[in-house]
Amino acid sequence: MDHVPVLIEQILPFLKDVPAGIVVDATFGAGGYTRQILEKFPSLSVVGVDQDKTVLPFVAEIEKDFGDRFSFIQANFESMKDHLEDQKISAVVMDLGVSSMQIDQEERGFSYQQDGPLDMRMNSDQELSAYEIVNTWERKDLRRLFWKYGEEKHAPLIAANICHAREKKKIESTKELRDIIERAAHSVKAVMRVFQAIRIEVNDELGALERGMESAAALLQDGGLLIVVTFHSLEDRLVKNFMIDKGKAVAGSRYAPVLTEEKQFNILTRKPLLPTDLEIETNQRSRSAKLRVLQKKS
């Protein structure tokens, strides 16, 4: 497995000026970001977070190479505040979505290009899987899902065909699902979009992102950074709006907000940073990546 960390060259310069302390790599994966951060910044340590326990061999490698400058929490990043309260958090980095390892493991069911069970859970201890959505959800709910998270124009026909197919036999595999979508929409892009929609729902990716960013913002010390890499427009919109919102001048409690002149955060990326042509050429996964950075004011 060769995992290339996306947009790392654009991320590292931001970390040069953060206050000393801990960087939370909230989407540890293969530890690509973690390794670079530990190598380049001796004054920083890293806490890795990932909800997928199959990353543990990568955790062991980083532990071996960096000792007590690194620790790992197996959890959803939305709960990072519970684990890290009162620590000096210099930055939180999020590299969203699934990793190339997860996609390459056909038994995880993330890939429409391989045949595997309908699963798509990043956290294999949770109950909801793609199988349940595809085989039990009502037609109108499937239609709404494919439209909302896949922005798929053939959503009504695809939902109808899934319901028709499963009357005869349960839909068990990614290949069966792919065939049904292709027969309805005659397009690989539609397959991609429907798989994306199901994956987002299975892992509650947008809900976790919203709660995760709130958790992160609450943890940052003054001058600390929230750095987020997104891969599709639904994620990017959420991150952009979150950052614009935090950049606003609000104090008081959420029930009685008080507008003040004092901003608590600065947006450091007025426009998102994108990969270079060279990065896109050498790493396909980077082609739709966007980087945004928010700073807690000093």
Ligand X SMILES: C[S@@+](CC[C@H](N)C(=O)[O-])C[C@H]1O[C@@H](n2cnc3c(N)ncnc32)[C@H](O)[C@@H]1O
- Binders of ligand X in range 119-138 (CB under 6 A): 122
Residue 208 C-beta: closest distance to ligand X, Å: 4
What does the alpha-carbon distance between residue 263 and residue 277 come to, in Å, rounded to a whole number? 36
Nearest C-alpha neighbor of 78 from the set 50, 116, 58, 106: 50
Q: How far is CA 43 from the centre of its chain?
A: 27
What does the alpha-carbon distance between residue 159 and residue 28 come to, in Å, rounded to a whole number? 35
Show the site string, 22-41: x = touches ligand X by CB under 6 A, - = not. Answer: -----x-xxxxx--------
What does the alpha-carbon distance between residue 54 and residue 72 come to, in Å, rounded to a whole number? 13
Residues 6+ apart with CB under 8 A from 215: 77, 78, 79, 80, 81
Per CB under 6 A, 50 contacts ligand X:
yes
Per CB under 6 A, 5 contacts ligand X:
yes
Do the Cβ atoms of 120 and 205 come closer than 8 Å?
A: no
Per CB under 6 A, 51 contacts ligand X:
yes
Per CB under 6 A, 279 contacts ligand X:
no
Per CB under 6 A, 234 contacts ligand X:
no
Residue 205 C-beta: closest distance to ligand X, Å: 6
Do the Cβ atoms of 30 and 99 come closer than 8 Å?
A: yes
Residue 94 C-beta: closest distance to ligand X, Å: 8
What does the alpha-carbon distance between residue 21 and residue 83 come to, in Å, rounded to a whole number? 16
Residue 142 C-beta: closest distance to ligand X, Å: 23
Residues 6+ apart with CB under 8 A from 187: 154
Per CB under 6 A, 272 contacts ligand X:
no
Stretch that binds ligand X, among 45-53, 131-139, 162-170, 248-256 (CB under 6 A): 45-53
Stretch that binds ligand X, among 12-20, 61-69, 72-80, 237-245 (CB under 6 A): 72-80
The only residue of 38, 49, 59, 158 in contact with ligand X, by rule CB under 6 A: 49
The only residue of 7, 23, 55, 59 in contact with ligand X, by rule CB under 6 A: 55
Applying CB under 6 A, the residues found at the interface with ligand X are: 3, 5, 27, 29-33, 49-52, 55, 76-78, 95, 97-99, 122, 208, 212
